[in-house]
Structure 1
Amino acid sequence: EDVDGASDPADLAILGQNHSSRQAAATEEAPGPWEHRLRKAGLPPAMAASAELRELAGWLQRDMIQENPNVRWDSIAELPGVKRVLKESLVMPLRYPQFFTGLLQPWKGVLLYGPPGTGKTLLAKAVATECNTTFFNISASSIVSKWRGDSEKLVRVLFDLARHHAPSTIFLDEIDALMSSRGDSGEHEGSRRMKTELLVQMDGLLSCDAQVFVLAATNLPWELDMALLRRLEKRILVPLPTCIARACIIETVLPRGRVNPSL
């Protein structure tokens, strides 16, 4: 700060306090990887220059996970095959990008599908924990707007934010609510434009080197648009739990010593 003309002792005392505060802040413990990533400049320059885009980005930033979900693979019972494929397709490329080049480039889109309640969202949180990336937890309410043109703008801003905060993962929960098959005569024009914009943005991920991945989940894969399925290159079935998995879930949920032995 410029101290020229600060001849009043009270002013000098205030400046001294401010200087001490800055020194104390500088000596604080270094932030962990999650905190360091979240302190990165919040918006790309082009987005920061537009009041409208800043407002839209503010809506989406509420869905950024701002702390480690702390969901480990061990927290999820069974599903060894699903975990292995998720590690190969999302975790390993982010940890060892030098090995995933050329013909070994990772998939940019992964779809988790299966019956409700099988752990698809929990698996997504485990990916966020293991990858230690910016994680956008997006649902239909995040990018669907009643205002004309805002839905496709929100989709565009979402992917711009993901590139800016790369490496990042965009998790689209219940994607069937967003990307059902096109061509229905009763479909609203705004819905068609939003779907087209989402497909265009996913195409953009395939043609750029940014470490941005799309992870989607649905209970109704047969209702998804075929163009979207082509872009979600890897599709993983999350089945109902086996008897062993159900026993593991019960042991985890119910505290030991408080359950009737007959159970």
Structure 2
Amino acid sequence: MARFYAPSTIFIDEIDSLCSRRGSDSEHEASRRVKSELLVQMDGLGSATDEPSKVVMVLAATNFPWDIDEALRRRLEKRIYIPLPTQEGREALLAISLRDVRRDESLDLRHVAKRLDGYSGADITNVCRDASMMSMRRKIAGLKPEQIKQLAKEELDLPVTMEDFMEALAKCNKSVSKGDIQKYLAWMAEFGSS
């Protein structure tokens, strides 16, 4: 199908779950066949045509590059490590995550972004989601379902504050450790592409 619509891109997320190392005792035969077929199809993509307009690119993502089958790793010519967000990146992620959320004028996204150093993009999204719900949680705490139903929407649509973020940060931890980062860097030193 991708060849028919070429030029096209096939994106495979969590490629490690589909193509982990072959040959383990726990590997099911059906899983081995799927991996083999994927490898054969990927080989066919490069040789299908020499026309630039008929290129099919395979783009894959993983959080566990060391679990990818060696044969697949060889077929994925460029291996790029995307580090955790920088200060500027964290500020942008905060703005994106909060674009539809009312914000208190005292909310300092730059300060929040500094506090989120070492957090992944998904971690930042979780912190924003948690912080945006804090004021509503405080408002309905101790109320019965019938009392909550009687509250006006305006009473629940409160702006997210710096206090909400500090409370959310106390509850939401980073998902990537310094040891994890070192493992990624070591893998990239051995197998990465520039």
In the superposition, the TM-score normalised over structure 1's length comes to 0.37
TM-score of the superposed pair, with normalisation by structure 2: 0.49
Give the number of the structure whose residues are more often strand, by fraction: 1
